[in-house]
Amino acid sequence: MLSEEGQVHVAHRNDFPYRRWNLEKLAKKAGLVLVEMVEFIQAAYPGYHNKRGDGFWSDETFPLTESFTFKFSLPESSQDDDGKKMTLQFNEDPTNKNAGDDD
């Protein structure tokens, strides 16, 4: 459950093939919007150790290149001049220069 002011943070690589997961689309289906995408800095998370999720090498780490923290929230809502509720959508992060590439 997410409060109105809450955020969901997902650390994820944004290069091929990981960008094919299309996190923004998945989040949108869950009713969330992308607020910000920032470079993932492992040092900001003391004790963090990444590892592969499957297979023979599942306990091994992998390079954190092109890794970002995607920050999602519920769409912001406000009242327009007529008092009607309106939803504001965030645009795609302009720094995501590789979005949509299918390497």
| pLDDT, tens digit, 9 for 90 and up, residues 2-43 | 888 899 999 999 999 989 999 999 999 999 999 999 999 999
What's the domain count of the chain?
1
Question: Going by C-beta distance under 8 Å and a sequence separation of 6 or more, which residues neighbour residue 16?
Answer: 101, 102, 103
33 is a domain residue:
yes
For residues 93 and 38, the answer to whether their CB atoms sit within 8 Å is no
86 is a domain residue:
no
Query: pLDDT confidence of 57, banded at 50, 70, 90?
Result: confident
Return the pLDDT at 52: 82
Return the pLDDT at 77: 62
11 is a domain residue:
yes
> How far is CA 16 from each of CA 12, 31, 65, 67, rounded to the nearest angstrom?
12, 25, 11, 11
For residues 12 and 20, the answer to whether their CB atoms sit within 8 Å is no
82 is a domain residue:
no
**pLDDT over threshold 50, residue 88:** no
* Domain containing residue 16: 1-75+93-103
83 is a domain residue:
no
Return the pLDDT at 83: 42
Q: pTM of the prediction?
A: 0.66
Question: Going by C-beta distance under 8 Å and a sequence separation of 6 or more, which residues neighbour residue 47?
Answer: none
